[in-house]
């Protein structure tokens, strides 16, 4: 036995399912309306040549092992930088004044340098060179319950769809993901985004990776007799065993340095629901310029959700008080509210987990925590 090698689970991939492809004329990712199996040809007899959906499951219960994700910056030559929102590894030789970069070697990645990762404040992310990167580590029940396939993607919307689905299933099934059945599919959406060159909000039809949890009886009906009896028994054993956190597998299943063929090259949509920022009073003396921004149709859906979350009437005065915190920039208004939303989501998640710990282990939690009710205020901020 070789310590650090054969003393651990050797998770080898049987192939990769692609969400898009690399355009040979430009070298950049290009969206596809279906999944591509050129790196997993053994799945073609099962899923078809151009599948738009398929069923999958997982070997592990840990979200970090199931869907490792990070912020990644690629060039045509390969990976340049990868970070987690706090720390990053920079793979090129330092040349010039690069934001957050030091000359110190990275402690765990040979040849890389330490860099501070400032997430949305980093120039690379602002310029759209850096974006979220994730990889789903899945099993295809109709093929084998012990074969791992990777589905890499660099999409804001794809990562949001996948993590949202997995987190809800994680709570519903009492911290269990392994052995449960999920449907992965391509969803056509209208993506609205800010064009940083023109300063205008634009929209485009796009196919993004989406996922939904399939309940037990429904999964059995959908899969029918396509799964071998021994694989059905394995899936049942995965579901019934105690949760496995996947710590020993994380390094083996982590993101690699390959520039993934991705399914989306656009920024996130503007109309993302958000919560309150502060309890500051409304400034009712907003001028006409602020009113124009406050009544922008681009922010209409966002304001409506904010008001609903806070229990506040969605008035023009409240919207003016909100946009005055943003220096008159629509994109900044979206980003600030989105950041605050993360804090409320985290608080809600902690409430759900606390309720789960307090409940009977054998009884799955089926109710989510109620939204946090804030003190009454006239401001959406």
pLDDT in tens, 214-266: 987 778 777 777 888 888 889 989 998 888 665 555 555 555 555 444 433 33
Q: How many CB atoms sit inside 10 A of residue 287's CB?
A: 9
Q: What are the tokens at 337?
A: 């509210």
More confident residue, 341 or 170: 170
Would the pLDDT of 372 be above 90?
A: no
All residues at 6 or more sequence positions from 67 whose CB lies less than 8 Å from its CB, including other chains: 134, 135, 136, 137, 162, 163, 166
Q: What are the structural domain ranges in the chain?
A: 13-68+133-253, 270-381
* Contact predicate 122/130, CB 8 Å: yes
CA pair distance 341, 335, nearest whole angstrom: 10
Q: What is the pLDDT of residues 11-41, one digit of tens each?
A: 678 999 999 887 777 666 677 899 999 999 9
* Contact predicate 211/182, CB 8 Å: yes
- At 353 the pLDDT is 64
**Beta-bridge partner residues of 79:** 74
Report the interhelical angle of 297-310 vs 316-323 (nearest 10°): 100
**pLDDT, average across residues 303-331:** 71
CA pair distance 68, 222, nearest whole angstrom: 28
Going by C-alpha positions, the residue among 25, 129, 21, 116 that lies closest to residue 75 is: 129
Specify the pTM: 0.62
Q: Indicate the pLDDT class of residue 191, thresholds 50, 70 and 90.
A: confident
- At 329 the pLDDT is 62
Q: What is the pLDDT of residues 150-170, one digit of tens each?
A: 999 888 889 999 999 999 999
């Amino acid at each position: 036995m070789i310590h650090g090698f054969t003393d651990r689970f050797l998770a080898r991939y049987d192939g990769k399912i692609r969400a898009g492809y690399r355009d040979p004329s430009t070298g950049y990712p290009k969206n596809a309306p279906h999944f591509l199996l050129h790196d997993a040809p053994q799945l073609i007899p099962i899923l078809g040549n151009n599948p738009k959906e398929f069923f999958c499951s997982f070997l592990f219960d840990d979200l970090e092992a199931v869907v490792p994700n990070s912020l990644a910056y690629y060039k045509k030559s390969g990976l340049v930088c990868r970070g987690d929102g706090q720390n990053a590894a920079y793979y090129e030789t330092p040349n010039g004044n690069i934001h957050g970069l030091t000359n110190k070697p990275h402690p765990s990645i040979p040849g890389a340098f330490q860099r501070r990762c400032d997430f949305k404040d980093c120039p690379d992310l602002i310029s759209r060179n850096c974006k979220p990167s994730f990889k789903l580590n899945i099993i295809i029940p109709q093929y084998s319950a012990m074969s791992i396939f990777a589905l890499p993607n660099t999409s804001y919307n794809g990562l949001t769809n996948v993590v949202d689905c997995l987190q809800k299933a994680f709570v519903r099934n009492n911290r269990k993901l392994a052995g449960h059945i999920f449907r992965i599919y391509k969803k056509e959406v209208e993506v609205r985004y800010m064009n940083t060159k023109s300063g205008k909000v634009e929209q485009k039809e796009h196919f993004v990776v989406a996922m939904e949890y399939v309940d037990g009886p429904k999964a059995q009906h959908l899969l029918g007799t396509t799964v071998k009896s021994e694989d059905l028994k394995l899936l049942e054993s995965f579901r019934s065993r105690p949760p496995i956190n996947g710590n020993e597998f994380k390094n083996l299943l982590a993101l690699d340095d390959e520039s993934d063929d991705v399914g989306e090259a656009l920024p996130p949509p503007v109309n993302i629901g958000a919560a309150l920022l502060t309890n500051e009073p409304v400034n009712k003396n907003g001028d006409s310029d602020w009113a124009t921004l406050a009544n922008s149709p681009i922010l209409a859906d966002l304001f409506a959700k904010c008001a609903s979350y806070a229990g506040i009437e969605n008035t023009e005065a409240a919207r003016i008080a909100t946009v005055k915190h943003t220096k008159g920039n629509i994109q900044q208004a979206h980003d600030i509210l989105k950041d605050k939303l993360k804090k409320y989501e985290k608080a809600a998640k902690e409430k759900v987990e606390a309720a789960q710990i307090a409940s009977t282990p054998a009884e799955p939690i089926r109710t989510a925590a109620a939204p946090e009710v804030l003190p009454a205020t006239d401001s959406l901020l």
